[in-house]
Amino acid sequence: MACHLLKLRVTSMAALFSRQSSLASLCSPNKLLVLKASRKWSPRASIRCMSTVDSSASASSSLTPLERLRQRQMRDAVKLQKLNPPMPEPRVMKETVPGLVRFNDLGLSDEVMEAVKELGLMEPTEVQAIGIPTVLAGENVVMASHTGSGKTLAYLLPIVQALRRDEAASGKFTRARRPRAVVLCPTRELAEQVFRVAKSLCHHARFRAAMVGGGSRMKTQEDSLNKAIDLIVATPGRLLMHIEQGNMAYGDLKYVVLDEADTMFDKGFGVEVRKFLNPLRNRSRQPEGEPFQTVLVTATITKAVQSLLDEEFPGIKHIYTSTLHKKVTNARHDFLRLVGTENKLESLIQILEPELAKGKRVMVFCNTLGSCRAVDHFLSERGTTSVNYHGAIPADERVENLEKFKNADEDSLPALVCTDLAARGLDLVCDHVINFDFPLNPIDYLHRTGRTARMGRKGMVTSLVTKRDQTLAIQLEEAMRKGESLEGLTNSREKLANIKKKEIEEKRKAKAQKLGVSLKYSNTQGSKTKSSLRGTRGSARVSNEGASSSSSSRSGSSSRPGSSSRPGSSSRSGSSLSSNSRTRNNSRSKSATTMSRR
């Protein structure tokens, strides 16, 4: 009996110990250390520990998406700190070329250097250090570098110096309606931006510039072209209108720049650009024709665009910087993954309102016009100030909204809710880019994120990631972590959309072919039935009434299969038909109608 009781006690003690061990594994390490040190381990303590674990689990599940993101960032930072102890960061010049290349080393003249000093520039960026000597050498070149790297000055500075050099060498000056340099931009906003940079160089380099674009009166621009203008910044469509009206001639044109060249040839501007370049190409092919220099500028260049540019401009030189198609180094990239039940608009507010309260300028990108309007409406209902920027807004209103975003006080900063129209060519100060709708491809992601952290400034990018965006988001995160190029990544959503589009087109073609065969068959049968009906009616009229050929032709032409005859015609020809022939003709007419419908 005593042995049996001892055995039961040992069994209960083992069960209790195993229960305590399982509960202890659920507790945090700190609580385990405290309980073991005090030697007060008991089932009650285990229950208290379990309640702590349950409460922490429920608390983590009730966290907002932004709080979950911050927790994950803190955990990653702790892991990174354990793996790599903090080291003093070396002081590196922002966006400069290794070796500290200066503007004085690039071959710029004294007057151009005065303009550079007036702008407050000290060291050139990578694209400027490589591009300026190449353009000065007179080579046709494609300059590709990430947004905000100083590409505008990389081509304007050498072209301005070349204009001054040509004047000194030939002794000829600019004539009216005959510019010597043209910069083509895809949008009016980008043209205005380039024109402002050119005007800032005019005071020291002593050249004249004008802008030709949409949104302004033709007469005002014509008056500007009637003066001696050295450089014109224009959009392709408006410039071609002035050329057709005789307001501009190609005679002295020697330098052509295509800004955002990938957009120029990929978004429907190719026809206008080729129409502008063809007279220059024809001139250069002539025995004594003067050649012209072409400079193409872009922030992204895919393989398709590269092959297209090589085809359009054979032998052109390519200059790619080390930062091309890579993430902006001075920006922090966060991917906020949303659970199916979480609201994107509420998550947007949680991110947006604290940033605006800190006086930061925020851009919110949407994929569609409807999404852009929905976000703007939601923000206005929540009392958050915002301005819109998309293609449905008139150009003047877009410029006005952009000025509100740029020049607003820190106390009343609006959020700029926009589509990808604002992702290219706009030089503005933006502290935070929020992708409300995740971009459809890596190129759009690069252009959107290029609105922040420009010219060495710091910035932040937050992307709201839904379930269908996971594939591309994971690829982007992995590529940025490894420092790889983002251009070659593929998006499953875009790939599936293309496959579905192709399937729809194939089904449509198959249906059209089948429909064409059936229509041809029905037309053939209809014509046969029509001729047989005419013959039957003619013979009936001849046998019953002996009508003349004129009346038979009139009645035959007026009665068509599948259509009801007019009262007048029926009174003229219906009396000549017997009841049997009329019934037979009606049945044949119905069969012809059914066949034609099929």
Full-model pTM: 0.63
Could you tell me the CATH number of the domain that includes residue 359? 3.40.50.300
Q: Rounded CA gap, 423 and 363, in Å?
A: 10
Q: Which of 320, 342, 370 is at the close of a domain?
A: 320
**Could you read off the pLDDT of 368-401 as tens digits, one per residue?**
999 999 999 999 999 999 999 998 998 889 989 9
Q: Are residues 404 and 350 in the same domain?
A: yes
Q: Are residues 168 and 262 in the same domain?
A: yes
pLDDT of residue 510: 81
pLDDT of residue 173: 76
Least confident of 50-59, 62-71, 322-331, 364-373: 50-59
By residue range, what is the domain housing residue 583?
528-536+545-598
Q: Are residues 284 and 356 in the same domain?
A: no
Q: Per-residue pLDDT averaged across 456-480, rounded?
A: 89
**Could you read off the pLDDT of 496-540 as tens digits, one per residue?**
556 666 777 777 888 777 776 554 445 554 544 444 444 444 444
Q: Are residues 297 and 343 in the same domain?
A: no
Quick check: is 478 in a domain? Answer: yes
Q: Are residues 146 and 253 in the same domain?
A: yes
Quick check: is 285 in a domain? Answer: yes
Q: Are residues 288 and 342 in the same domain?
A: no
Q: Are residues 316 and 338 in the same domain?
A: no
Q: Per-residue pLDDT averaged across 178-204, rounded?
A: 92
For residue 362, list its beta bridge partners: 432
> 481 burial class (0-12, 13-18, 19+ CB within 10 angstroms)?
exposed
Q: Rounded CA gap, 156 and 161, in Å?
A: 9
Contact 461, 438 (CB under 8 A): no
DSSP state of 469: G
Closest to 255 in 3D by CA, of 207, 304, 222:
207
Q: Are residues 124 and 256 in the same domain?
A: yes
Q: Are residues 370 and 238 in the same domain?
A: no
pLDDT of residue 61: 52
Quick check: is 508 in a domain? Answer: no
Q: Are residues 340 and 208 in the same domain?
A: no
pLDDT higher than 80, residue 492: no
Least confident of 61-65, 195-199, 409-413, 502-506: 61-65
Q: What percent of the chain has pLDDT over 70?
A: 66
Per-residue confidence band for 74, with pLDDT thresholds at 50, 70 and 90: low
Closest to 449 in 3D by CA, of 437, 463, 433, 426:
433
Q: Which of 289, 320, 351 is at the close of a domain?
A: 320
Closest to 261 in 3D by CA, of 180, 318, 178:
318
Quick check: is 210 in a domain? Answer: yes
Quick check: is 49 in a domain? Answer: no
Quick check: is 567 in a domain? Answer: yes
Per-residue confidence band for 199, with pLDDT thresholds at 50, 70 and 90: very high
pLDDT of residue 82: 56
Distances (CA, A) of 589 to 552, 560, 592: 18, 8, 5
Which residues are CB-contacts of 569 (< 8 A; sequence separation ≥ 6)? Answer: 554, 555, 558, 559
Q: Rounded CA gap, 90 and 498, in Å?
A: 47
The per-residue DSSP string of 31-66 comes to HHHHHHHHT---HHHHHHHHHHHHHHHHHHHT--HH
Quick check: is 517 in a domain? Answer: no
Distances (CA, A) of 326 to 35, 446, 447, 469: 51, 8, 11, 20
Q: Are residues 175 and 292 in the same domain?
A: yes
For residue 298, list its beta bridge partners: 144
Angle 127-134-165 from CA coordinates, rounded to 5°: 120
Angle 243-244-247 from CA coordinates, rounded to 5°: 45
Which residues are CB-contacts of 96 (< 8 A; sequence separation ≥ 6)? Answer: 123, 124, 125, 126
Quick check: is 14 in a domain? Answer: no
pLDDT of residue 63: 65
Rounded to 10°, the helix 188-205/395-407 angle is 60
**Could you read off the pLDDT of 543-588 as tens digits, one per residue?**
444 444 444 444 444 444 444 444 444 444 444 444 454 445 555 4
For residue 266, list its beta bridge partners: none
**Could you read off the pLDDT of 122-155 as tens digits, one per residue?**
889 999 999 999 999 999 999 998 888 889 999 9
Q: Per-residue pLDDT averaged across 233-254, rounded?
A: 94
pLDDT of residue 566: 41
pLDDT higher than 70, residue 119: yes
Structural domain total, the chain: 3
The per-residue DSSP string of 316-381 comes to -EEEE-TTTTS--TTEEEEEEEPPTTS-HHHHHHHHHHHHHHTT--EEEE-SSHHHHHHHHHHHHH
Q: Rounded CA gap, 152 and 129, in Å?
A: 13
pLDDT higher than 50, residue 305: yes
Q: Which of 285, 320, 355 is at the close of a domain?
A: 320
Q: Are residues 347 and 296 in the same domain?
A: no
